[in-house]
Amino acid sequence: MYIKSIQLRNFRNYENASIELSPHINLITGENAQGKTNLLESMVYLSLTRSHRIVDDKKLIKDDAPFANIHCVFVDDQETDIDAVIHPQGKTLMLHKQPLKKSSEFIGLLNVVLFSPDDLHIFSDQPKERRRVMNQEITKVSSRYLSSLNKYQSYLKDRNSLLKNEKIDMNYLDILDEQMAKEEAIIIQERRKFVTCMQDFITDIYQQISDTNISLTVSYKTFVEDSEDLQADIIKCHKESRTKDIEYRSTKTGIHLDDLVFKMDDKNLIYFASQGQKRMAMLSFKLSLLKYIEKMIHKQPVLLLDDVLSELDYHRQKKLLEMVQRDFQCVITSTEIPAFLKNEDMKEFQIVNGKIFPFEGGKQ
């Protein structure tokens, strides 16, 4: 899979811009605040139907414009034409110019993996941020997971509302627990599959990138053990938690409290890793995501590197390129041309105040 072209209209600081990308390496340079990250954000939006930077879609629309449009042509087995039109009332998602009724029909058509400096925050943030990352990556490859997650969140909202009542309908609580458990079983199985697959790659990738024998691991922390009748065990856990749930008037057991745990040589990365080790760990996690997506849907996602190469030394920059350049399209942003790319066959662009120009000195 690779992006052939992107056209932006009234998106962020872009009034009207387009770019034709190489299937291999694309380098986008420019000073800060010119629109490099905004361009990558448009690609992420097409993959997830939301921004990775803000919650309110309306802020993506250029000032005083009535709407924003992201148009993309990508190549998989064939050329696919997709659009996201963002307007004050919401968004319209289109495949080959035909509107789709559900976001779930659009998510994952274009699959991208972004690595940006902000990603390091997930190691120190609350578990909900690590769940968010896990959810967004699994939903890109599993519509079943997305459906179960949406249903669970709706049931959880109903359950929490019920628990706030002075008099609680226990029969209705039983029904909600059964409905939640059905979806939780699916979610837990998919999350376990995700973490197992990630673990197949992450240790080896970390050791290659960092030139150490340190073992980087990722594990899944949930409230129930694996079993032959997972759904029944989940219902049992919810019933055992009822006294506490009623006391606190909220659901204190469930997949909405799950976490990802990263360790280096069996020590929690959050507390024991240096900033440099965390950077290598996150890069290894992102590269493992490429492998996970490829394994799950048998397609190569697009790798987006947003101003992160300056944080790596020349040796690790070269190793990164060697690991991805043969199999994945890369879109790399930087304020200048990284040294390790100067002799590479790539397509280069410059961004100046929301305008995209082919870089004259680059190889085209």
d(CA 361, CA 344): 13
Whether the predicted pLDDT of 342 surpasses 80: no
Whether the predicted pLDDT of 64 surpasses 70: yes
Whether the predicted pLDDT of 65 surpasses 70: yes
Q: What is the average pLDDT across 124-128?
A: 89
What is the residue-wise DSSP string for 156-178?
HHHHHHHHTSSS--HHHHHHHHH
SS3 call for 358: strand
Q: Is 355 left (phi over 0), alpha (psi -120 to 50) or beta?
A: beta
What Å distances lie between residue 54 and 38, 41, 59, 235, CA to CA? 12, 10, 8, 36
Whether the predicted pLDDT of 73 surpasses 60: yes
Reference 236, options 186, 176, 177, 161; nearest CA is 177
Confidence of residue 337 (pLDDT cuts 50, 70, 90): confident
Confidence of residue 71 (pLDDT cuts 50, 70, 90): very high
Half-sphere exposure of 320 (CA within 13 A, CB side): 30
Confidence of residue 136 (pLDDT cuts 50, 70, 90): very high
Work out the mean pLDDT of the chain and round it to a whole number. 93
d(CA 198, CA 189): 14
Whether the predicted pLDDT of 103 surpasses 80: yes
Q: Which of 260-269, 310-319, 350-359 has the lowest mean pLDDT?
A: 310-319
Q: What is the average pLDDT across 281-294?
A: 94
pTM of the complete model: 0.92
Q: What is the average pLDDT across 69-83?
A: 95
